[in-house]
Structure formats: C-alpha cells, structure tokens
Structure 1
Amino acid sequence: MRISGHEYIQVKFAKMDCLSCPVRTQCTNSAVRPRTLALLPTRELHEIQMRNRLDQQTGEWQRR
C-alpha cells in the first residue's frame, strides 16, 4: 500500500472481531467500521517518523 508516495503495511481487523472487542473504544471512534492500521515497513523509518513528530511539537520547529 502507498500513502503520499511511501510504502506502508496495512493491517485490517475482521469486522466481527473488532465489533465484539471489549476495549474497542480505545482503538477507534468508528461506530461501524473495524480498526485498520498503516505501519511503516522498517523500524528505522518508524523511528525517523517518531522523531519528526516530536520535533514538530517544539516552538523552534513551529516558528520555521
């Protein structure tokens, strides 16, 4: 799967499994659709994404 030109691994939960899950509200706000996840294919890319997201919360990054 590609999102904004980047490769991702897509995980889709079965609708019946998701709807019957007792902690469903901690995963999704959807009333009818099951949870889906889009994961980066390597730990290195995930760590880069996490660092970038942290940087985006700093005042310096926001001023730029």
Structure 2
Amino acid sequence: MDKNRIEGTKHEVKGALKEAAGKVTGNHAKQAAGHFEKEAGKLQKDVGKARDEYKKS
C-alpha cells in the first residue's frame, strides 16, 4: 500500500472535521480550509491508488 493512500485518508478526515467545525461555529475561513484539505486528501489518495495499480502491472 502506497504511503500516499494513508496520508491522503488522514488529510481527508482531518479536513472533514475542520469543515464541520467551521460550519458549526460559523467560521467561513475554517470551513473553506477544511474543504480544501479534504479535497487535497482525496487527490493524494487517488495518486496512491494509481501508484499501487502501476506497481501491480
């Protein structure tokens, strides 16, 4: 398993928590930062999946 998949999942969860906290508190900056981190985590996870698929072939 590629380390990007693990790190991506970690960032995705952390971003989702930040985004939720921003929504609850009404802090739009924290909400936006959380959304950005969540999306970056998804991208990093996809890179890890692609690298795993490449290594299999």
Report the TM-score, using the length of structure 2 for normalisation: 0.34
- Relative to its length, the structure with more strand (as a share) is 1
- Relative to its length, the structure with more helix (as a share) is 2
- Structure showing greater radius of gyration is 1
Report the TM-score, using the length of structure 1 for normalisation: 0.31
- The higher-RCO structure (CA 8 Å, 6+ apart) is 2
